[in-house]
Structures are given as C-alpha cells and as structure tokens.
C-alpha cells in the first residue's frame, strides 16, 4: 500500500503569529489611509475655494472691480433690490446672486467635505438651487455654507483674502469674525481651519492655498499680507472682518429654531426695555415666540418672563403645556407688551431658574445690559444658578449687524452648552429656507 499523504495545517502558535502580523500591518496602514482621505477632502475643499474665487473675480470684472458686498447703491436695485444694501453683507445673499450661482454651478461647491455637519443642509439647498435670489428675499441659508467671505477682500489688492474655509480654533463667538486681528486686545488664534491645520484660503489674485492656524492667526502669513496690502478699490486698511462667521452670527428663522431644538421644558426670557423699540426688535421677538408656541409639540411645556427695570412672569405662575387653547389664552398678554425702561434681566433669570426648573432657557435681547455689573453680572448669575450646566441656555441677539451684538451673549451660550443666534433687525429680515 502506498503511504497516504497528509496535509499539515497551521498550529495554534502559527495562527496567532499570523494574526499578530496582520494586526500590525493594519495598524500601520490605517493612519496612512486616514491621512489620504483627509488629504483628498482638503484638495476638494481647495478646488471649491478656487471656483468661489473665480466667481467673485468674474463678478468684479463686470462691476467696476467691486465685489458684491462693495456694490454701489446705484447698482443695488439691479442686484439686490431697493433697500437691501446691508443685505450684501450676508454670504447667503452673495452666493444667491444669479451671476455667482451661474459660475459656481451647483450647491455642493459651497460645502467643504471637511465640514460634515453642514452636509444635510447643503443637500436641501441643492434641490432648491434655482430658486435662490436676493431680489425675492430668498437666500441660501448659512448652515449650508462652509466658507466665509472677507469684508476687506479687494480685487485691486492681490494679497487680500477673499474667502476661507469656515471654522474656529477656539469657540469664542465674539472673536469668530476675525481672520487675524484688527482689534485690541488681540484675539489669539481666532480663526483657523475646520480642524487644526486643515483649512484653506483664496486670495484676490485667484490663488488658493492650504492654511494652518499659524497662517491665519494674528501674526500669520495670510493675515499679515492681508493687513499690509495697500491701494485698491476700498478705502483704508484691508479689514479682517468676516461675513458670516461659523455658526455663531447667522441670520436665523427664530421660529424654526425654537421648534426644532431639543428639550421638553422651555423658558423664554424676553427683553422689553426701551432699546427694543429700535427696528421693532420687541415686535420681532413677540411674533417669533407666538408663532413658535403654536408649532411646538403639546407634550412640551413653556414659560415666559419679560424684563426691563423689573421682571414680569407669565400669568398663573408655573409653566403650561403647548396646547392651542393654552397659547390662545397667553397670546394677548405676550403681544400687549411695549418697550420701555432699563435692561435688567437679573430678576427674571433668578426667578426662572429657581421657580420654573426648565431644561432649556432662551434669552432674547439686544444686550445693552445696564443692571449693576452689566453683562458680566448677568453671565456670573447664570453660572451660579446653573453650576453643573444641566440647563441649556441659548441666546438670541437682535441688531442690524452681527458686530453690534453684545459679546456676552455668545459667552453665556458657550458657558451653558447652548447656542448663540443672531437675528437681524431693521426692515424685514431675510428668512432662510431650511
């Protein structure tokens, strides 16, 4: 009989060694693959900025070297409609201009793959791309845009920055509007890439570049070149103010913000001081509040506190469920309020936290706190009443321009796991389609 041949299998030791080798190779390859993916995303982001830069320069060539936010009042009617000159300071309006839309081509160019949190909103914009037009007061919402525009960008100054990838290297909304620094004290590291060292810029000469935190910081290359650039179409030094910062100073539809935010027990603290008469700010807040209450789930509870020199709580005490008949009853009380008096929210804040125990607080105001200690006292009181930050505190600032909003509102939101929203006052505010 012939000897039978036996196939020898792996021993346990050999199998374990093989698994170890595969594991080691995988650990070596994964970082390489991850880096390759990020590099690819960054290249795509750079390509987007290049296209945006080309669209802006082509627009300028057709408008006497002026960028959309530098447009002359005489041309305003054609581009944006009468009375909408300040509207050009909105990136959503700029990118909605028909000439820019044509050159940009599609909504995806406005979204960086390094910016995943804005992907969903950008997809919604893509479906409505043709409908966006400032003349109709329908502009692209900021939450769909990954890029910021530099107010001081100037086609006559080759070294000025036109646009950057949206983001911050530190979460301070009061400082978010600066690429570098043209205010004192210098906000260190105020603007950077979406993740450290992963942002990009496009300059007025059409060149696009990878950027790092050091590039965009107060003494960085791009910031320095932008600042020292001279001559050109705009007056004075090149401004580093950014149009539409990263999520902080965004024009919003307040009603939709109220109704889509998590939380089951909302408390609204509303400023009815004398300054809220400007641009009908109190009226905007009242309407947004009433409209949002009717859209709120009946399973949610709400409480309302108005403040000026003192505080005025909602009739009946406590909170109410958002049933239509409850809202019908409270609506006249909300709408009857008229602006007048000082801006002292301390009593309303204390009563809200101590008596109501909400899970979400909204403070609607134009800032300008004139209680003893001012904004610092307001911020400190909330920190004392909410030491574990279990209550989310959101703030809504009313003003004509983002930079006019009291910076303490952004700080309060940041301190308490909340979000600061900017609501433009003055004329009829644009309502982004979300």
Report how far residue 107's alpha carbon sits from residue 128's, in angstroms, rounded to the nearest whole number. Answer: 9
| pLDDT, tens digit (0-9, with 9 covering 90-100), for 62-73 | 888 888 877 766
Report how far residue 144's alpha carbon sits from residue 142's, in angstroms, rounded to the nearest whole number. Answer: 5
The answer to which of 47-51, 186-190, 281-285, 418-422 has the lowest mean pLDDT is: 186-190
The answer to which of 79-93, 145-159, 298-312, 336-350 has the lowest mean pLDDT is: 79-93
Report how far residue 269's alpha carbon sits from residue 317's, in angstroms, rounded to the nearest whole number. Answer: 14
Give the chain's length: 434
| pLDDT, tens digit (0-9, with 9 covering 90-100), for 381-423 | 999 999 988 999 988 888 876 667 777 887 888 788 887 777 7
Whether the CB-CB separation of 319 and 303 falls below 8 Å is answered with: yes
Report how far residue 153's alpha carbon sits from residue 156's, in angstroms, rounded to the nearest whole number. Answer: 9
The answer to which of 118-122, 126-130, 336-340 has the lowest mean pLDDT is: 118-122
Cis peptide before 427 (omega within 30 of 0): no
In SS3 terms, 23-70 reads as HHHHHHHHHHHHHHHHHHHHHHHHHHHHHHHHHHHHHHHCCCCCCHHH
- Given the DSSP bridges, would you call strands 208-211 and 242-243 parallel, antiparallel or unpaired? unpaired
Walk me through the domains of the chain, giving residue ranges and CATH numbers: 41-243 (no CATH), 254-424 (3.40.50.410)
- Can you give the pTM of this predicted structure? 0.51
Report how far residue 150's alpha carbon sits from residue 40's, in angstroms, rounded to the nearest whole number. Answer: 25
Q: Which of 90, 75, 72 is nearest to 137 (CA)?
A: 90
Report how far residue 109's alpha carbon sits from residue 47's, in angstroms, rounded to the nearest whole number. Answer: 8
Which residue, chain included where needed, has tokens 């939709």? 256
Rounded to the nearest integer, the mean pLDDT of the chain is 77
As a dihedral over the C-alpha atoms of residue 421, residue 422, residue 425, residue 431, rounded to 10 degrees, the angle is -70
Whether the CB-CB separation of 368 and 307 falls below 8 Å is answered with: no
Among 15-19, 127-131, 149-153, 251-255, the range of highest mean pLDDT:
127-131
| pLDDT, tens digit (0-9, with 9 covering 90-100), for 424-434 | 776 443 333 22
The answer to which of 37-41, 81-85, 233-237, 348-352 has the lowest mean pLDDT is: 81-85
């Amino acid at each position: 009989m012939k000897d039978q041949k036996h196939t020898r299998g792996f021993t346990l030791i050999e199998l374990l060694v093989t698994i170890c080798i595969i594991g080691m190779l995988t650990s070596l390859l994964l970082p390489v693959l991850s880096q390759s993916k990020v590099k690819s995303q960054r290249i795509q982001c750079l390509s987007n900025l290049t296209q945006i830069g080309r669209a802006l320069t082509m627009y300028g060539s057709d408008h006497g070297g002026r960028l959309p936010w530098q447009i002359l009042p005489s041309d305003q009617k054609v581009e944006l409609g009468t009375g909408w000159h300040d509207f050009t300071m909105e990136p959503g309006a700029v990118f909605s201009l028909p000439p820019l839309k044509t050159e940009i081509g599609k909504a995806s160019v406005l979204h960086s793959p390094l910016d995943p949190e804005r992907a969903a909103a950008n997809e919604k914009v893509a479906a409505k791309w043709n409908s966006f037009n400032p003349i109709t007061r329908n502009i692209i919402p900021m939450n769909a845009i990954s890029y910021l525009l530099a107010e001081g960008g100037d086609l006559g100054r080759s070294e000025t920055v036109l646009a950057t990838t949206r983001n911050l290297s530190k979460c301070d909304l009061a400082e978010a509007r600066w690429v570098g620094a043209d205010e004192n004290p210098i906000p260190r590291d105020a603007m950077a890439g979406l993740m450290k060292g992963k942002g990009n810029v496009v300059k007025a000469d059409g060149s696009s570049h990878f950027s790092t935190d050091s590039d965009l910081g107060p003494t960085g290359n791009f910031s320095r070149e932008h600042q020292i650039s001279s001559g050109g179409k705009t007056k004075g030094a090149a401004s580093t103010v950014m149009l539409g910062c990263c999520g902080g100073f965004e024009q919003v539809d307040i009603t939709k913000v109220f109704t889509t935010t998590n939380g089951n027990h909302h408390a609204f603290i509303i400023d009815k001081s004398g300054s809220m008469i400007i641009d009908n700010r109190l009226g905007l807040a009242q309407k947004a509040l009433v409209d949002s209450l009717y859209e709120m789930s009946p399973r949610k509870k709400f409480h309302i506190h108005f403040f000026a020199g003192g505080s005025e709580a909602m009739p009946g005490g406590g909170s109410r469920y958002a049933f239509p008949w409850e809202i019908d009853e409270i609506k006249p009380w909300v709408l009857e309020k008229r602006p007048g008096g000082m801006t002292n929210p301390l009593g309303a804040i204390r009563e809200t936290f101590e008596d109501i125990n909400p899970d979400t607080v909204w403070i609607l105001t134009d800032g300008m706190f004139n209680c003893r200690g001012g904004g610092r006292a307001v911020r400190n009181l909330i920190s004392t009443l909410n030491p574990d930050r279990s209550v989310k505190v959101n703030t809504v600032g009313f003003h004509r321009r983002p930079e006019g909003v009291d910076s303490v509102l952004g700080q309060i939101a940041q301190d308490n796991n909340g979000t600061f929203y900017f609501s433009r006052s003055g004329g009829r505010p644009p309502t982004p389609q979300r």
